[in-house]
Amino acid sequence: MLQRFYPDKYMKSAYEIDFRSYYNAGYRGIIFDIDNTLVPHGAPADKRSIALISELKELGFGIMLLSNNKEPRVKMFNDAVHVSYIFKAGKPGKKGYEEAMRRLRTDINTTLFVGDQLFTDVWGARNTGIFSILVKPMDKKEEIQIVLKRVLEKIVLASYKRMCGKQGKPYLE
């Protein structure tokens, strides 16, 4: 039952993902969550996030920001990185993910999703059929509703860790 929330891969940071290997494997679009994935919650784009997005665009990836936040927050981040975005995306619902792929001109076989939450980001990506990469949250400071979800995430991640051990694959890379 908990498997529906398991990421395809669990990484320490979005900045440690070997995106070139995914590009070489045929992926052409990346959908990113913003808060606690690329920058701390509510923060503007910083030098590191700007450099990452720029590098990914140069590599040939289409980039989409998919956020449940309101447009002013998403636009503030996007004004520095200049990619496409969808605000008030309704994650974990499929509609935002499907619209993101439509705009990126990708499909479930050529799209990656990167986010920090199991019950919105990963679950939505998995329900849509997209390869999901969970990253550790960047900052402990979060809204109360997210803090409460993190308690439940610990249960799912403990189950995921056991499954990884049984399969002989890394839990956190």
CATH topology of domain 2-167: Rossmann fold (3.40.50)
What digits encode the pLDDT tens for the residues 5-38? Answer: 899 999 999 999 999 999 999 999 999 999 999 9
* Residue spans per domain, the chain: 2-167
What digits encode the pLDDT tens for the residues 24-83? Answer: 999 999 999 999 999 999 999 999 999 999 999 999 999 999 999 999 999 999 999 999
Place of tokens 């994935």: 37
**Is 14 in contact with 114 (CB distance < 8 Å)?**
yes
| Predicted TM-score (pTM) of this structure | 0.92
**What are 67-73's contacts with CB under 8 Å, separation 24+?**
67/33, 67/34, 67/35, 68/120, 69/34, 69/35, 73/34, 73/42
